[in-house]
Amino acid sequence: MRTIVAGNWKMHKDRAEALALIGVLKDVQVPTGVEVIIAPPFPFLAMAVEELKGTSIRVAGQNCHEKAQGAFTGEVSASMLASIGVTACIVGHSERRQYFGESDAIIGEKIQALLERGITPIFCCGERKEERMTGSHFDVVTEQMKGALRMFDNDALKKIVIAYEPVWAIGTGLTATAYQAQEMHGHIRALLHTHGASVAETVPILYGGSCKPDNAAELFANPDVNGGLIGGAALDAHQFSELIRIAGERERSAAIR
Ligand code: PGA
């Protein structure tokens, strides 16, 4: 299974800053077996697609609306994203759930809309701090997965990328330990196994939450951690390039095993 390094820029950077970062990334040597995705804000997506033509780096949205079109002021549809060459899209990020009230049911509809347009959904799940403290984190993630993914058949599930992002680790500098990450990723993999081995062996599970060059090697070394969804460290060309290199090391050691 490939190793993915995906950068979620959130609401950061202006046009010149975005261009500068893309300019560095387009010269990065992407190691064999590694897939690099960047998710800049909407106004820079078309530019990112243009600038990255001829490279293997994919461009993702950070969100989309679940409907194909209509009177939804301020929203962006999956078909609009597809029409400018965007090939992936983050859905259900905890910030969308928390600040924009996105439910698992809506997230499921967004995934459906993306799949209909041939866009890879990067589905985010993860527990809040109090849920981990009370020991309900496995149940929370199970419910999020079931709530958003229950309507999909195996062919559809195989097209999804999952990102486990414990909310308490996002932007806080706190990272799940390698053990905690593998434990939850193993749980997610087991849930995927209920749809059959072919689903479980196809769907990449990324870790997100203060993942940086100094902890990525340890996190990525876990068998069920297939790369990372990176926030803060994706805004810095040097750190993001380092993460791509570390993902390459993971691929190389997997090839030796
Ligand atoms: P972070 O964000 O790396 O800044 O913690 C990760 C994310 O929210 O996707």
Q: Give the closest residue (by CA) to ligand 1 atom 9.
A: 231
The answer to whether residue 187 is catalytic is no
Exposed/middle/buried for residue 130 (C-beta within 10 Å: 0-12, 13-18, 19+)? exposed
Residue that has been written with the tokens 């060059």 in this structure: 213
Q: Which amino acid is at 88?
A: A
Q: How far is the CA of 198 from the centre of ligand 1 (A)?
A: 29
Q: How far is the CA of 9 from the centre of ligand 1 (A)?
A: 9
Cβ–ligand 1 distance for 171 under 6 Å, the answer yes
Longest Cα separation, the chain = 54
Instruction: Pick the closest to residue 40 from 90, 107, 113, 104 (CA basis).
Output: 90
pLDDT tens for the chain, residues 1 to 257 = 899 999 999 999 999 999 999 999 999 999 999 999 999 999 999 999 999 999 999 999 999 999 999 999 999 999 999 999 999 999 999 999 999 999 999 999 999 999 999 999 999 999 999 999 999 999 999 999 999 999 999 999 999 999 999 999 988 888 889 999 999 999 999 999 999 999 999 999 999 999 999 999 999 999 999 999 999 999 999 999 999 999 999 998 887 66
Nearest atom in ligand 1 to the alpha carbon of residue 230 is: 3
Cβ–ligand 1 distance for 229 under 6 Å, the answer yes
Rounded CA gap, 239 and 220, in Å? 15
Is there a contact between 124 and 81 (Cβ–Cβ < 8 Å)?
A: no
Q: What is the pTM of this model?
A: 0.97
Alpha helix (H) residue ranges in the chain: 15-25, 45-51, 78-83, 94-100, 104-116, 129-133, 137-149, 154-157, 178-193, 197-200, 213-220, 237-256
Cβ–ligand 1 distance for 211 under 6 Å, the answer yes
Catalytic residue, from 93, 137, 185, 187: name it.
93
Rounded CA gap, 183 and 185, in Å? 6
Q: Which amino acid is at 135?
A: G
Contacts of 83 (CB under 8 A, 6+ apart): none
